[in-house]
Chain A
Amino acid sequence: MLIYAHSIWSEAMKSLRRNRIRTVLTILSLVVGIAAFICVVGVGKAGSAKVEEQLQKLGDNMIWVEAGSRATNGVRFGTRETKSLTVDDARAIFAEIPGLKRMSPNVDGRVQVVNGTQNWNTTYRGVAPDYFDIRRFEIQTGTIFTRDDVDRDVPVCILGQTVVQNLFPDEDPVGKSIRVQAMPCRVIGVFQPKGASASGWDQDDFIAMPYTTAMKRIGGTSWLDDIFFSATSRTAIPIATSQAVGLLRERHHLHPDEPDDFNIRSPEDVIRAQLQASELFTLLLGITASLALLVGGIGIMNIMLVSVTERTREIGIRLAIGATEADIQLQFLSEAVAMSLLGGFLGVIAGIGTSALFQNILQWEIKLTPQLLLFSGLFAAGIGIFFGYYPSRKASELNPIEALRYE
């Protein structure tokens, strides 16, 4: 049996070698198909990973309540003018609405910060300790402030990297004192850099302090700019959001015909939609690439059918000297499978190569999983068997006498 399989296989290989150009062209069509397939899936996955990464940076199932309404014509009323959103609103929502696990009332604004002779204009954010979890801010050195610091409106702050670079070019800021506007403030920590956001602003150019400190000592306000919540899960977001809308309207005594004086968003939804779009895009590209593969397969079938006609006489000779139908079919199928395997193998290599090229151009990390490569290789072999079957059967069913007479 082994002798037989080996003999038929080597007979198939000989025949492929005898028709070098035809073999190369057939393999080439598969190589292109497989490489395109790998590339498309790889690039698509890398794109999704990129969006996923942004999503991760954005926050942990975040719900964002912002002061100020959206006017009916789409132009927003100045958020800064709206004074109705309060710390009590934040506490009430957090206490009464299920499905929320973290809460941070926030104020923010522009501020001048000074260290000796260095000074810098940046954004301050007055927040609660939960803020850092919601937005996934990590501390590089030092610590964050505590609830106790919030209760006692302690003048402490944590600096973003850009602020550190401008105020403390060559020293460790932790433990030092800076001036924030007129307020002396101790630096207790430095954030890990976050880099530029998706829309391009510098996420490291800010300082954070307890919201109480910011409200009493910097802004002098009693209202909030926004409140951040973390929902317990993604699915909790829509329900919690609509309940928060109801509660806030009630607390702000809004008539049913009055618009909201706040607006609630979950920015992750936007990104999720983006993610879905990118996944859909990957799928579409994948389908296109599969079609390319399919065309490659039909190409194989086409070339093999032509080859069967071309080799009619050869088949006749083989049948006359005692080849069975199974022998002939096996040989032709072997030829198809060999071409597909080689095409698949070279296609995988070409796919890896082109993906590397795309990686350089797009600056995305393209990960080609072993599963993807394996799948592509097997897919190629499958194509060989599938599209080689019909021509090989046709070859085996030739009438030996007519085949011998064929010119």
Chain B
Amino acid sequence: MSFNIQKIREDFPILSRKVNGYPLVYLDNAATSQKPQQVIDSIVDYYSNYNANIHRGVHTLSQEATDAYESARQKIKTHFNAKEVYEIIFTAGTTHGINLVANGFSDILKKDDEILVSAMEHHSNIVPWQMLCDRTGADLKVIPMNEEGTLIMEEYAKLLSERTKLVFVNHISNALGTINPIEEIIQKAHEVGAAVLIDGAQSCSHIKPDFQKLDVDFYVTSAHKMCGPTGVGILFMKEEWGNKLPPYQGGGEMIAEVTFEKTTYAGLPHKFEAGTPNICGGIAFGAAIDYLNAIGFEAIEQHENELLEYATEKLLEIDGLKIYGTGHKTSVVSFNIEGIHPYDIGTIVDKLGIAVRTGHHCAQPIMDFYKIPGTVRASFAFYNTMEEVDALVNAVKKAKYMLS
């Protein structure tokens, strides 16, 4: 499929609605993406035609639902090039996946072990590790970043030692858009025998990571940021870790045999999938991956980079505007205008139909680093247009005029 932006936009019903009397300009894609008709149809189709519980029934509907759910898992495995399909564990999303791993390490970590986390993490990738440190007596160390919003790799190398057991870094920062050098991070961690978890909540809508090539131990992401529904995501876990970590939640589906004396757990991935999963969500996640691949990640990346370059250039023409995150990055522009609170800008541009995010973006340590209360963040997806960038820039100019 060639990249035809008008045709792509027609796939997204929401993009034709109006907000406050203006055509919607949706630039909050880092929070969640919009959904194409193909994904919406897959949800309607599931509930209209083959809704049933999976892995349990011998009846036809149950078989159909199980096949669709498992074929979504297979699609996801192929997409990310995991070695085995059972290394893909369905979760409720990124946060759930991180907590599952953090919980699994409760019994593995010992006092004085160290875990490293980057200075630009989402609260989802900070709080569970703090809780883990509280439980185990391990220490949390922070990989610092520079003014550009880029991790300082020399400092990372210095922090690594044989005490390091785990490293957690996001692939792409939601607040700054920085793309972190995860290949190098993983390789260096492995040299000291530490495992690595990559938070891919922001990355998988922009690029296509290859799990085997990365040699990553754990990788988590959410479907809702990649045109899929909310409430579903995946945790990729290398087989050896899958065997090592204890189950997270007990329940149906995750067992092999239960007596009141003893339960043996099911194999991967079911060991980590207690209870009836989000069946429809998993299937729709598969449909979203098909959709993205039909457009093609090369085309997506190219278009998004054009949007990023154009938006950066135009916004910087505004006097007093500063962009945070200026290194190697994806299509996120986080900015402030001197003397104006980001919340004020967000309020005015919303009145003009433009959806941006304001605030600390669940990454307070980054805001503390820059000593700012928050930023205005415009995050672009492949369905955004140059005209929408113009609308954003004009709205920001108007806001600046009103507010200064």
A, B bound: no
